Amino acid sequence: MAETNKQNKNKTKSRQSLSEEEVNALSEGHHTCIICFSNLDENIRAKLPCNHDDMCGRCHMRLRFLNEDKKCPICKTTNDTIIVDRDANKKFEEYPRWGDEIGAGFIYRKDVGMFFEETYFHESIEPLFALSCHKCNFKIDENTTKNNTGGKKKNKPRRLLEDHLRSDHRQS
């Protein structure tokens, strides 16, 4: 009987929302992204001004780019800028920020308000914005679709891929 009462209390507590201290205690030492469950020790963390770093850079970028959501998924604080870095021990406020710069080795993507470690950006983030042909190595990225005068898009990426499929592979 006493055991049943203890189990009921635990169930009631789990149904209630957790306090901020309880959330912080549970998330201390976390090692996986709360969205995709990728290993954050091997992957790269997104660091927010609210000091949450529970998500990988790719998942945060998707939230910000696709959903236009700049809120922290944990505390719902709006964060205009976040930093994606491999150093799990470094906090957001420890980065030397000067406008759109935080030092060598980082790239700032203004449309999502994110600083990315340069190698991570080129290997993991840039390909998310590219279109490619499944039959050959033809690839269209953001740089392919910009002209050299003013940076305005000269052709839409999807149109370029359709033209490639039609002309090189006779598909429509």
Domain 29-127: which topology? Herpes Virus-1 (3.30.40)
Q: What is the pLDDT of residue 39?
A: 83
User: Comparing 96 with 142, which gets the higher pLDDT?
Assistant: 96
User: Comparing 20 with 167, which gets the higher pLDDT?
Assistant: 167
Report residue 103's pLDDT band, with 50, 70 and 90 as the boundaries: confident
Are 165 and 138 contacting, i.e. CB atoms less than 8 angstroms apart? Answer: no
pLDDT over threshold 60, residue 3: no
Q: pLDDT per residue over 52-73, tens digit each?
A: 988 998 899 999 999 999 999 8
Integer Cα distance of 13 and 32 in angstroms? 24
Tokens of 108: 């700032």
Q: What is the pLDDT of residue 166?
A: 87
The strand ranges marked E within 54-130 are 82-85, 106-109, 114-117
Integer Cα distance of 94 and 150 in angstroms? 35
Is the pTM higher than 0.75? The answer reads no
Residue 93 neighbours by CB distance under 10 Å: 9
Question: What residue has token string 């994606």?
Answer: 84
Residues forming CATH 3.30.40.10 domain(s) in the chain: 29-127
